[in-house]
Structure formats: C-alpha cells, structure tokens
C-alpha cells in the first residue's frame, strides 16, 4: 500500500484537514477492510477499479467513483475488486458545511455522489478534470480552485457548534457537553439542532469518534503499554468502559483490532 498525505492551501486550512492518496495493486488474496468512524466527512475520487461496500456479511453496493462519505456512527467493510487508486479530501468536523446548504444529517452513514450535492454539470466537469489531471499536485490545484469558488459565505458555522467542536478536539473527545453548557436545557437543544445540520451527528457521537481516533493512535503507535494505560490516558471510567466503547464503534475489541488482517487499512490511516 502506498498512502500519502498533503497539506491544504492556507485559505482552506481551517476547513480541510488534509488530502490523501492511496495506491494498492490488485491482489486476489485481498481481504475486506474495516473503515471506522473518525469524526470527519470525506470526499473521494476513485480512479481505479470498483470498490465494494458491504451492507451485510455477503451483500454489498459499489462505491460511486466521485462521492462524499458522510459522518459515520458505525464501522463498515469495503473490498476492492481490483487495483486501488484514490484521491480524497478529509474535512474537519465543521469543514464540509461551508460548501452545501442541505442538513448534513442527510449524509450520515452513507455515500452520496457529488452530483447530488453540487449538481450534475458541476460534478461532471470536476470529475473529468480530476481524471485527466497529470498528477496529485494538479489534482490538489483543481479541487482547491473548486472549493474556493464553491465556498458559501453566508453559511457561517454557528458559534455554539464551533466552540463545542474546538473543545472536543482539544480534549480528544473527553469533554462532557453538560460541562460546556452548564446543564442549560435550552442551549443543549440549540446545540443538538445546529449539530445535526452542520456536523451531521450529535455532540456525544462526535466526541466518541474523536476519542476513538486518539485511542487508535495510542494503540497503533504503542505510546501506551497496556489497555489499562490507554483507558486511563483517554479518560475512560475504566478498562471495561474503554473496551465497550471501542467495540461499539469498531466492531471488535482492541486486542482483536491489532491482530486482525481486516484492520490493515485502518491501521495504515491511523499510523
């Protein structure tokens, strides 16, 4: 696997976290790979062969070649049918709301073709430009020109959403919403409403996804020696709480994650 990341232009660096590319030659022995929630929305362009997205153990749909992957509340499995050649944009939690007017809760746990978000003509032109680009640098230039043109100036992010997301990121998802809002019911309802529109998921779900990112980083880079250490550093109540939350989001326990060949792609992303 050849996985590379690239920084965005300074005018987009508060919206786009990074760009990434992935190239994997075809191998008939390839196994399903699990994709886990990470608290962000991604736009992907597939220049290789079709990619299956499993909806059950045996049933699947084929990914669109140019699509937006909404916020995820659960993990799912994918499997390439041939070689992989992907270019993707990873947005910060508040990033993608700057480009569309529809509520982002409509995108949760599914893949949406970019034609449904930007219109058929715009989508076709963009996809053809990306396909015909000579290299990754040119693709970044194309997508950044598109983003800068599509920015919706009036669609500003709610202050209550931005401050909550900032607090969750700063504390690796461990901040309790009740602490931020001082248990004010009216503010909690307002936050939940704005979150669904501008983030797609609830503050609690985003916090869990951000905390999962942090624990995966500790787990994969062996910055902590034991699961108890990771639970403590990630401010879980105890090891059992950590394992339960991990399994709810990933589908397997932390130990199973480390020893599972279906986690190779996720492990690559988080390393």
What distance in Å separates the CA atoms of residue 218 and residue 122, rounded to the nearest whole number?
41
Residue 69, SS3 per DSSP? strand
What distance in Å separates the CA atoms of residue 247 and residue 5, rounded to the nearest whole number?
28
DSSP 12-64: GTTTEEEEEEEEE---TT---EEE---S--EEEEE-SS-EEEESSSS-EEEPP
pLDDT at position 264, please? 63
pLDDT at position 270, please? 58
pLDDT at position 186, please? 74
Q: Which residues contact 220 (CB under 8 A, 6 or more apart)?
A: 258, 267, 270, 271
Domain 2-150: homologous superfamily in CATH: Jelly Rolls (2.60.120.10)
Q: Tokens in use for 205?
A: 């779900």
Q: Tokens in use for 75?
A: 């993990």
pLDDT per residue of the chain (271 residues) written in tens, 0 to 9: 799 999 999 999 999 999 999 999 998 888 888 899 999 999 999 999 999 999 999 999 999 999 999 999 999 999 999 999 999 999 999 999 999 989 999 999 999 999 999 999 999 999 999 999 999 999 999 999 999 999 876 567 788 899 999 999 999 998 887 777 766 667 788 888 999 999 999 999 999 999 888 888 888 776 666 778 888 888 887 888 888 888 889 888 888 887 766 666 666 665 5
pLDDT at position 263, please? 64
pLDDT at position 262, please? 61
Residue for token pair 């194309």: 142
pTM of the model: 0.89
What distance in Å separates the CA atoms of residue 78 and residue 60, rounded to the nearest whole number?
9
Question: CA–CA distance from 142 to each of 85, 135, 139, 181, 200 (Å)?
Answer: 17, 11, 5, 41, 27
Q: Which residues contact 74 (CB under 8 A, 6 or more apart)?
A: 37, 109, 249, 251
Q: Which residues contact 18 (CB under 8 A, 6 or more apart)?
A: 5, 6, 7, 8, 90
Domain ranges of the chain: 2-150, 159-270
Domain 159-270: homologous superfamily in CATH: Homeodomain-like (1.10.10.60)
Phi, psi of 48 (to 5 degrees): -100, -150
Q: Which residues contact 39 (CB under 8 A, 6 or more apart)?
A: 71, 93, 173, 206, 209, 210, 213
* Backbone angle region of 204, left / alpha / beta, with phi > 0 → left and psi within -120 to 50 → alpha: alpha
């Amino acid at each position: 696997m050849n996985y590379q990341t690239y920084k965005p232009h300074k005018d987009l660096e508060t919206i786009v976290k990074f760009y990434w590319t992935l190239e994997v030659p075809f191998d008939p022995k390839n196994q399903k790979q699990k994709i886990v929630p990470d608290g962000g929305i991604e736009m992907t362009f597939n220049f290789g062969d079709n990619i299956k997205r499993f909806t059950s153990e045996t049933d699947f749909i084929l990914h669109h070649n140019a699509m937006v992957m909404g916020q995820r509340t659960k993990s799912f499995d994918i499997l390439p049918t041939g070689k992989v050649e992907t270019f993707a944009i990873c947005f910060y939690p508040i990033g993608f709301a700057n480009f569309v007017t529809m509520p982002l809760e409509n995108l949760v746990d599914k893949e949406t073709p970019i034609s449904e978000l930007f219109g058929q003509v715009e989508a076709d032109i963009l996809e053809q430009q990306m396909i015909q680009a000579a290299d990754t640098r040119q693709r970044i230039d194309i997508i950044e020109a598109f983003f800068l043109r599509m920015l919706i100036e009036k669609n500003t992010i709610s202050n209550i959403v931005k401050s909550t997301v900032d607090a969750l990121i700063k504390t690796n998802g461990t901040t309790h919403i009740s602490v931020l809002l001082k248990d004010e019911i009216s503010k909690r309802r307002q936050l939940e409403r704005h979150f669904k529109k501008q983030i797609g998921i609830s503050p609690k779900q985003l916090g869990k996804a951000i905390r999962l990112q942090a624990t995966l980083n500790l787990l994969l880079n062996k910055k902590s020696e034991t699961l108890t250490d990771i639970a403590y550093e990630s401010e879980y109540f105890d090891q059992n709480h950590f394992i339960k939350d991990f399994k709810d989001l990933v589908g397997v326990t932390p130990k199973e994650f480390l020893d599972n060949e279906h986690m190779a792609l996720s492990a690559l992303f988080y390393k």
